Structure 1
Amino acid sequence: MTDTLLEPAAEATTTDPLFQPISIRELTLRNRVSMSPMTRYHSPDGVPGADVASYYQRRAEAGVGLIVTEGVGIDHLTSVDDPAIPHMYGKAALEGWRRVTDAVRAAGGRIFPQLWHQGPLRDPARSNRPDLVGSRPSGHWGKAGHTSYGDDYVDAMRAPTQPMSTGEIADIIAAFAGAARNAMEAGFDGVALHGGHGYLIDSFLWHETNHRDDRYGGDSARRAAFAAEIVAVVRAEIGNAPIMFRFSQHKQQDYGARLGETPEELGALLVPLAEAGVDLFDASGRVFDRPAFEGSNLSLAGWAKKLTGKPTVAIGGIGLGNGLGETLSGSSETKPLDNLQAARDAIARQEFDMAGVGRAILNDPQWVERVRTGQPFIPFDRANLGRLS
């Protein structure tokens, strides 16, 4: 495939695969575009305000099929670090989320919160509790490789800590259940779980951070047990509402890391999650249509669908010409790029089911409407990374 800069095109019709509806359990989405979760740091003391509600409402008004919120902390002391990351507990926060869901619903949208525990990647220095280290399955931060983190941060975080106790594991599983229950009370349409990028759930799945020899570590089935138990308790709390699960090969600790070296290894981790109740896998790749394994042209999302039989979302650079790391560091210019035909073609052949779009929608609330009507994309403004535009 040859990517070209986006030029004005004919108005998309209802035959466009990106704009076909899709049903996940009993929830019908108006199209196949998912707004990917992106941390915003605009919720003081964990409480989303009117500006957060307006931010999501603008995307719903422009036609996003499914909005997945920024990562949202669960009720556990080491869940998240920065005090401006929103959480899913407490009266004030739940009232704030109710304003968000009401605004999105009024605009015809559907919205899931991405429930999050940062685990090994929690930075105590950014938190209100610098005395508490991040939760780690075996006390390991992970093998450092190609990363966007600075050397000082990596050196500080690589020091070993105490492995999580079985009591802490049980407390965190219960906290995910409580957050899912609160999300339903706040009006969300389903729940997303962050199981990628080296954060807590992923750190149980990844062999570099999980060296346990109990029921939560060892072979693939046991490394998947923590995530599967979380999925099961969330399912018990939310009934027939959909569960979305984000996973990734790459980690924040090392962009070159791999959760599974072969399809069989990946399937051994994902299939138990599907059996526990995941309805939609959010396959976070650095390039959405890059083949995931040698000998096959299937993307990471394509393999997840083939292995589990569940619908999948493909993520990684849709609508843009570089990766997230390059955007964050400013090492290369982020430009609009028309790589959407590859997503359309993959959806049409049922390789995956939805296109997950992050930075492009963060930059431009009207991005989905521009795609639908064939308008050119606007330039990317890095200042939008730090504001609710």
Structure 2
Amino acid sequence: MEKGRETMTKYSKLFEPTKIGAFNLKTRIAMAPMTRSFADDNTGVVNDQIVEYYRKRAKDGIGLIISEGVVVTPRGKGNPGVPGLYSREQVHAWKRVTDAVHEEGGTIVAQIWHVGRLSHHELIKGSAPEAPTAIQVDALVPRFRKPYDKPEEMTIGRIKEVVSLYAAAAKNAIEAGFDGVEIHGAHGYLIDQFASDVSNKRTDEYGGDLAGRLTFMKEVIKEVIDAIGADRTIIRFSPHKVDNVEYRWEDADAAIRTFTEAFKEVGVKIIHPSVLDFTEKFAGDQTIYDLARKYWDGPIIGVGSLTPDLAEEALEKGVIDVAAIGRPLISNPDYLEKVKNGEELVEYDAKTHLPELV
């Protein structure tokens, strides 16, 4: 048996076509969303480099490409060079990216994003960041190296407006040729700020216990689903935060149960729990994905420093349905080809792989 065929047999689940929601995928490997900061910093418009960046991954056979975070409003920006999906120019530019992916037989969704309090006024045209509660983060903005600003507490009216901005961005994504969207509800950004008792001290309908704090997330999901359909909507959520890497849910089992109940209530079909380490244990000997599968029968996307072997094992067990790969896909545009041929992967190095798209 030739080496490539032998490797594909070893990783039969990884290379297996599948369908989740409306997405017909060539393989069960996804490209995890990764901030690259290569859009025009003033306009949030993507360029020729980004077109080819995503084309290469689609050509390699990646089943589902989840784009870098794409902000739904200028005030949602938290890093230099982040793209948007709120202007006609941005929509037009993204169409070239989605056309390139589709020409290679790929599937691509836009990760729609608002960073909330994790920003600085110089990044958002002089505005203050916005958040469920006016609590400032004591840290520096990544890639900007200035302290986070104190945010303004969002009024009920502004909350409703931002919910509508997510739905508008989802419609723009479909117009731009994306196959769907992933709502970024993870990692301590705006939706997760509402979900967390660390950043949400509200006493209205958007505060209280976890079920109450998930009200904002549910409203966003519902409006996005109403705009583009449940089969084209993914929700990403997480137990950790970029501004507090040590933070974890106090009771992961109860948290997962509450999150999944909320997702079922609003009609979500595909979930993407996010952790840094896929094997991390949260409740006894259970991972986040063990817990998620306990309460969720639908498709689950898994992520967290997955190797081909670990991903294959998780797919075989049915703990996840699609395995998302992150940094190795930056340093290896031909990731699947290398895995198929048993070739050594280029290790990701920030100094090597951040200055230019590969």
What's the TM-score, normalizing by structure 2? 0.91
Instruction: Tell me, yes or no, if the aligned pair for 1:88 and 1:94 is still in contact at 8 Å.
Output: yes
Q: Distance in 2 between matches of 1:136 and 1:66?
A: 31
Give 1:317 deviation, angstroms.
Answer: 1.4
| Matched residue type, 2:158 | E
The yes-or-no answer on 1:306 pairing with 2:306 is no
Match of 1:27 among 14, 23, 26: 23
* Aligned residue number for residue 38 of structure 2: 42
Q: Which residue of 2 aligns with 1:123?
A: 120
* Secondary structure, aligned partner of 1:292: strand
1:120 Cα deviation after fit? 1.3
Aligned to 1:232: 222
Question: 1:226-250, CA deviations, whole angstroms, 9 ceiling, x for partnerless residues?
Answer: 0011000000110254211111111
Correspondence list, 1:173-192, <5 A? 173-192=163-182
Is 1:67 the counterpart of 2:36? The answer is: no
What's 1:384 paired with?
Answer: 353
How far is 1:187 from its partner? Answer: 1.1
Q: 1:148 to 1:261 in 2, by over 3 A?
A: farther
Q: What are the within-5 Å matches in structure 2 for residues 62-141 of structure 1?
A: 62-75=60-73, 77-82=74-79, 84-125=81-122, 127-129=123-125, 131-141=126-136
Specify the alignment match of 2:51 in structure 1. 53
- Conserved 8 A contact 2:49-2:357: yes
Matching residue's letter, 1:305? R
Which amino acid is 1:354 matched to? V
Residues 295-323 of structure 1: per-residue CA shift (max 9 Å, x gap): 23x321232232232321221112xxxxx
8 Å contact kept, 1:370–1:377:
yes
Where do residues 137-216 of structure 1 align in structure 2 (5 Å cutoff)? Answer: 137-141=132-136, 153=146, 156-157=147-148, 160-216=150-206
- Do the aligned residues in 2 keep the contact of 1:290 with 1:299 (CA within 8 Å)? yes
Q: Is the 8 A contact 1:196 1:246 kept in 2?
A: yes
Structure 1 range deviating more: 197-206 or 239-248: 239-248
Alignment equivalent of 2:305, drawn from 317, 324, 332: 317
State the partner residue of 2:257. 267
Q: Distance in 2 between matches of 1:179 and 1:284?
A: 22
**How far is 1:274 from its partner?**
3.4
Per the alignment, in what secondary structure is the counterpart of residue 37 of structure 2? coil
Structure 2: runs of 5+ lacking an equivalent: none
1:274 aligned counterpart, secondary structure? helix
- In structure 2, the residue corresponding to 1:47 is in which secondary structure? coil
Cα displacement string for residues 5-25 of structure 1 (whole angstroms, at most 9, x for unaligned residues): xxx994312861111222112
Listed one character per residue, the Cα deviations across residues 229-275 of structure 1 (whole Å, up to 9, x for unaligned) are 10000001102542111111111121111245230123213320233
Q: Residue 79 of structure 2 contacts residue 142 of structure 2 at CA under 8 Å; is this kept in 1?
A: no
CA apart distance, 1:82: 4.1
Q: Distance in 2 between matches of 1:342 and 1:83?
A: 34
- 1: CA distance, partners of 2:75 / 2:107: 29
Residues 81 and 287 of structure 1: CA distance in aligned 2, closer, same or farther (over 3 Å): closer
RMSD: 2.4
Show CA shifts across 1:342-383 (max 9, x none): 221111111111211110001110012211232221243432
User: Secondary structure at the residue paired with 1:282?
Assistant: strand
Alignment of structure 1 residues 300-379 onto 2, 5 Å:
300-318=288-306, 339-379=307-347
Q: Give the structure 2 partner of residue 5 of structure 1.
A: none
Contact 1:243 1:277 in 2 (8 A): no
**Letter paired with 1:50:** D
Q: TM-score, normalised by structure 1?
A: 0.84
The unaligned stretches of length 5 or more in structure 1 are 1-7, 319-338
Q: Structure 1 stretches (4+) deviating beyond 6 angstroms?
A: 147-150
The Cα of 1:161 is off from its aligned counterpart by: 3.9
Offset at residue 29 of structure 1 (A): 1.1
Kept in 1, the 8 Å contact 2:72–2:86? The answer is yes
Q: Distance in 1 between matches of 2:230 and 2:198?
A: 35
Matched residue type, 1:372: K
Alpha carbons of structure 1 residues 241 and 49: separation in structure 2 relative to 1, 3 Å: farther
Equivalent residues, number: 352
For 2:9, what is the secondary structure of its paired residue? coil
Partner of 1:18: 14
Paired amino acid for 1:64:
I
Shift of 1:88: 0.5
